[in-house]
Amino acid sequence: MSRVELNASGTSRDLSAAARVAEDSAALAATLIPPPPPAWRRVANRLVHLWLLTLFLVVWELVSTLGVRINPQLDVMLPPPTAVFSAAQELMARGVLITHIADSLRRVLVAVGVGAILGIPLGLAMGWSAGFRASVDPLLEFIRPIPPLAWIPLSILWFGIGDTQNEYIIFLAAFFPIVLNAMAGARDVDTYLVRAGLSLGARRRDLFLTVVLPASLPNIFTGLRVGLGIGWMALVAGELVAAPTGLGFMINNARTLFRSDYILLGMVLIGILGLVLDFLMRQVSAIAMPWYRR
């Protein structure tokens, strides 16, 4: 190995040479990789992954349409996907389906939004300060196991009948995963990063904004995704009382009307909305954390 000469003038000549070589090799690498497949190929490759979902729908359709010959009650017990689809067309034509979707979406977003605004700072504070955590934790863990459904009577007394009461129930479900994940994020910040910050002159407030918050972001996003998912799970409970619209209301209402096709439609739509929002949330997290390894 050749020794690196000490030269008073140049700043590490061989290092910048190494940097140039790295750039050249990056350019070379770009010419060596195979061209990306055409767009239709990429779409096709993705669609292949839908085979299981397709199989599921086909089996469901067959079980329902063939099974009804053996057991006529299956007509109500498990309407086929095609029946769910015509129910969607019917409610769409009557103009109510969009309202149901929009109102549920709004309630979930408001509830999770408030959960994030309250839950993220609370969780970060709990993760950052062991003393604060020790005080808040018992209260939080005491409230957490209480089912959102159990809150319905009191919440009516507090918020009356209307959107706020509906949103409060959904909020209760979404709040805790948001808090607990933010807390885990702030608590598990690498000691070395905190020390690096301190030894570079950061004060506590700087540390929070430049180290603790960014280090917690992956956990915060996990909390938001879980909270959003659980928010949807609480939708039926949230819209149990006095909501005149919404997918949860629709499901409850259909129960009294014996319209299981409406019930299944509500369930399917909640599933789709949850999927779409989770996808969007992952896009947002990718934009917010370009540095994060997935």
Partner 1 sequence: MAQVVVRNVSKVHIPLKGEPLLALHGVSFHVEDNEFFSIVGPSGCGKTTLLNLLAGFETPTRGELLVGGQTIREPGWERAVVFQEYALFPWYTVVQNIAYGLKRKRLPEAEQRDLTDHYIGLVGLRGFEKRYPRELSGGMRQRVSIARALAVKPSILLMDEPFASLDIQTREFMQDELLKIWQRERKTVIFVTHSIDEAIKLSDRVAIMTPRPGHIEEIKTVDSARPRDMTHAAMVQLAADVKRWLRQQLFESTPA
11 binds partner 1 (CB under 8 A): yes
Residue of 74, 118, 125, 215 that binds partner 1 (CB under 8 A): 215
Report DSSP letters for 169-212, one per residue: HHHHHHHHHHHHHHHHHHHT--HHHHHHHHHTT--HHHHIIIII
Q: What is the dihedral of CA 49, 53, 55, 58, to 10 degrees?
A: -140
**Residue span binding partner 1 (CB under 8 A) among the ranges 3-11, 47-55, 72-80, 87-95:** 3-11
Compute the least distance from the CB of residue 16 to partner 1, in Å.
5
Return d(Cα 129, Cα 136) in angstroms, integer: 11
Compute the least distance from the CB of residue 265 to partner 1, in Å.
43
Token readout for 116 is: 């994030």
CA terminus-to-terminus distance, the chain: 38
Residue of 32, 138, 201, 258 that binds partner 1 (CB under 8 A): 201
Neighbours of 41 (CB within 10 A): 10
274 binds partner 1 (CB under 8 A): no
Return d(Cα 292, Cα 81) in angstroms, integer: 40
Return d(Cα 252, Cα 239) in angstroms, integer: 8
19 binds partner 1 (CB under 8 A): yes
85 binds partner 1 (CB under 8 A): no
**Residue span binding partner 1 (CB under 8 A) among the ranges 19-27, 75-83, 96-104, 178-186:** 19-27
28 binds partner 1 (CB under 8 A): no
Residue of 6, 32, 39, 287 that binds partner 1 (CB under 8 A): 6
Residue of 198, 226, 241, 268 that binds partner 1 (CB under 8 A): 198
> Of 183, 157, 159, 175, which is closest to residue 108 (Cα–Cα)?
175
Contact, 84 vs 105, CB < 8 A?
no
141 binds partner 1 (CB under 8 A): no
Return d(Cα 262, Cα 248) in angstroms, integer: 11
Compute the least distance from the CB of residue 199 to partner 1, in Å.
4
Compute the least distance from the CB of residue 25 to partner 1, in Å.
12
199 binds partner 1 (CB under 8 A): yes
**Residue span binding partner 1 (CB under 8 A) among the ranges 11-19, 45-53, 168-176, 263-271:** 11-19
Using the minimum distance from each CB to partner 1, give the nearer residue, 118 or 198: 198
Return d(Cα 249, Cα 269) in angstroms, integer: 13
192 binds partner 1 (CB under 8 A): yes
Q: What is the dihedral of CA 41, 44, 46, 49, to 10 degrees?
A: -140
Using the minimum distance from each CB to partner 1, give the nearer residue, 14 or 137: 14
292 binds partner 1 (CB under 8 A): yes
CA 42 to chain centroid = 26
Token readout for 145 is: 């196991």
Length of the chain: 294
**Residue span binding partner 1 (CB under 8 A) among the ranges 73-81, 86-94, 124-132, 189-197:** 189-197
Please report, as ranges, the residues that interact with partner 1 according to CB under 8 A: 1, 3-4, 6, 11-12, 14-16, 18-20, 22-23, 190, 192-193, 195-203, 206, 210-211, 214-215, 217, 289-293
